[in-house]
Amino acid sequence: MTQPPLAGSLVLSVGHTLPGLTCLAALRDLGAEVVRIERPTRAGEAGAYAGLAPSFPTRSLLAGTSQLALDLKREAGRAAFRRLADHAAAVLEGFRPGVAGRLGIDHETLRAGHPELVVAALSGYGQDSPWRQRAGHDVNYLAETGVLGLASPRGLPGATFADGLAGLCAALNLVAALLAVARTGRGAFLDLAIVDAPLFLMASELEHFWQTGESRGAGDTHLTGRYPWYGVHATRDGGALAVGAVEPAFHAALCRGIGRPELAEHQLAQGEQLAAARAAFAEAFASRARDEALALFEGEDACVSPLRSTAEVARSPLMQRALRADPRTGERIVRAPVRLPPAPLAPEQTGVRVLERLGFSRDEIDALVRAGAMA
């Protein structure tokens, strides 16, 4: 087996939330050695997400990465971080803009004696945005970029799309920057925002607005529920089917499946014809159980899929692409969407072992502990 592309590259991450962890999982699967710098928790103190941890496991993101608890509010902790960064190919930080500078671990400081270092700052709205100090989570970023405003019906998306896309885009930018380092010897500072990817996905709607002055909403386009052949239809048993028959041939197959082939001629119908088509599709699905309705399209390219539960997905053929196991524990995790063979999961180290491997002596480590800068 050839060496993974990022083998030998140390990536430090600090101030990370879900977008950063998603990025780290992708870099891990590409072979990077990942060390997460965490804030020490004191006796009796709960972590920021302690209450959510049981219902939101993150093992697929953390497996194969190491962890070091440093108190960056203490000079000894900051000095240790800067020393670690001297060994790194890249640093990913997820603080609000300005925080890294106040801590003395901003990109200018870190790259002063290490010009080939790549530093990526991943924030909600970017380093120079008027909104740079706003707090937010996935649902806020999807709302601010217009994505949720087009959802039909309106509601929570069910997965953290803005966060996940931000992490994968961060990984893409970091890999590109590391490739440039290999060619030029010069590192870079990357100003990354969680809103960047959903804004790009809104390109078509933004172009339409610039061209026409029309700000479209839910129900105005085929992607937002204008036609019954692209959407979600409830079934008799409380299930649902997703239909995406955009091309005329797929639409014709859909109409044959529900026993209404004549509707194929009116795919873009308006007014009464559209209302009649909508009623015909709704009745065809609502009068049947989910799997019974799905069977109508057996052998047809009609672009009809059941809304599957997590249990169904876990048993589906899709897991052949997504599943991998920790070779030490047999624990199942979901691999990052990296299509090169994923790098083996590295041994996970913590605290003392991380520092020893990166050149700290035992006396230096003891001094960090005595200074309260390391837990």
DSSP 76-104: HHHHHHHHHHTT-SEEEE-SPTTHHHHHT
Report yes or no: 65 and 34 within 8 Å, Cβ to Cβ: yes
Return the pLDDT at 327.
85
pTM here is: 0.93
DSSP per residue, 329-366: T--EEEPPS--SPPPPPPPP-BHHHHHHHTT--HHHHH
In order of 17, 74, 183, 249, the CA distances from 103 in angstroms are 18, 9, 31, 60
CB atoms within 10 A of CB 316: 11
CB 302 within 8 A of CB 244: no
Contact 19, 163 (CB under 8 A): yes
8-state DSSP, 247 = S
Q: Where do the domains of the chain lie? A: 10-200+320-370, 222-234+240-306
Same fold, 10-200+320-370 and 222-234+240-306: no
Mean pLDDT per 10-residue section of the chain, whose length is 375 residues: 90 97 98 96 63 83 96 97 97 97 97 97 97 95 95 88 97 98 97 98 97 95 95 97 97 97 95 96 97 96 96 95 90 94 92 94 95 92
Per-residue pLDDT at 328:
84
Q: What angle do CA 27, 33, 35 make, to 5 degrees?
A: 100
Q: Which CATH fold topology does 10-200+320-370 show?
A: Rossmann fold (3.40.50)
Exposed/middle/buried for residue 57 (C-beta within 10 Å: 0-12, 13-18, 19+): exposed
Alpha carbons within 13 angstroms on the beta-carbon side of residue 304 total 31
The CATH homologous superfamily to which domain 222-234+240-306 belongs is formyl-coa transferase, domain 3 (3.30.1540.10)
